[in-house]
Structure 1
């Protein structure tokens, strides 16, 4: 496991702050929480493909954003873990154009469950609610990560400023 440099910690902190800010911005439009989510901050979830140091920043930013969640402690824990697992998985992806898959899958399954459980509890309605909420969360996540996230992955390596942050093997993979 590689050590995080001061630069890595700074990048992680900036991503955490940006994730929380963009989630609040999405919340203004009613898009941050609920069955149909379109959190602009989720576009950042593809960044571990380029910047492994983005992983802790995404997790911390998601914890902060989920403190405002109407689904309470369950969303703070499960929703934030979904982001952490997705970020770790994304950092291990081999192709940039597949970096959207982990956040979509993790959020559809884990956040879909969180919302379904909050709505139905441990009742017979839970599986149907989970499928419904997982599908709607997944569609919103797909829109953000595939469209906005892919745009980030294509543009950031072209900006010279980011070259120092992107590991050599990833700079040309994107």
Structure 2
């Protein structure tokens, strides 16, 4: 793997983790509005975003109140969602895998482990899904348009074929 590709992966991971930590009050509750999730549309443009988002999620989940469960299952959810996003046929469907995968996996973990009063697994899945839907579509789609428009000047972003 070239230095340029490794640098792109590392940059995506660092950006994801940084955005998660900067907006920590929004990132770690059962009603999550994780700003960094807008980056989950990047695998639609480049496969380098798949490992970048996976690594970034693992790093950012180290600070989660759910500890190792969030590191393992949150990282796994990001990996699955990123891979599925890379397979999406159009930009409007690109944000859908992170919404669905995170709602199911992260929602299940939150509902089963968080031990918050009144928080059931289905309710946790709903709240995570609503937050993901908002971030991935309201921030992710404009971000995707911006990246598609300027991908020729950003090293490491490959044009989608």
Which residue in the other structure is 2:21 paired with?
Answer: 24
Which residue in the other structure is 2:109 paired with?
Answer: 114
**1:105-143 Cα distance to aligned partner (Å, 9 max, x none):** 01000000111111349xxx99x7111000001000011
**1:140-169 Cα distance to aligned partner (Å, 9 max, x none):** 001110111101111112113138622351
Hey, what's the Cα distance between the residues in 2 that align with 1:37 and 1:100?
16
The answer to whether the 8 A contact 2:4-2:156 is kept is no
Equivalent residue for 1:56, pick from 48, 51, 56 = 51
After superposition, the CA RMSD in angstroms is 1.9
Which residue in the other structure is 2:159 paired with?
Answer: 167
Hey, what's the Cα distance between the residues in 2 that align with 1:164 and 1:117?
39
Gapped regions of structure 2 (runs ≥ 5): none
Equivalent residue for 1:138, pick from 111, 120, 129 = 129
SS at match of 1:161: coil
Q: CA deviation at 1:5?
A: 3.1
1:33 maps onto 2:24 in alignment: no
The answer to whether the 8 A contact 2:103-2:126 is kept is yes
Hey, what's the Cα distance between the residues in 2 that align with 1:46 and 1:168?
12
TM-score normalised per structure 1: 0.86
Gapped regions of structure 1 (runs ≥ 5): 170-174
Equivalent residue for 1:8, pick from 5, 27, 31 = 5
Q: CA deviation at 1:100?
A: 0.6
Hey, what's the Cα distance between the residues in 2 that align with 1:77 and 1:152?
27
Equivalent residue for 1:77, pick from 72, 78, 82 = 72
Hey, what's the Cα distance between the residues in 1 that align with 2:114 and 2:155?
45
**1:68-124 Cα distance to aligned partner (Å, 9 max, x none):** 000111111001100000000001111111001100001000000111111349xxx
Hey, what's the Cα distance between the residues in 2 that align with 1:35 and 1:14?
27
The answer to whether the 8 A contact 1:157-1:163 is kept is no
Hey, what's the Cα distance between the residues in 2 that align with 1:94 and 1:168?
10
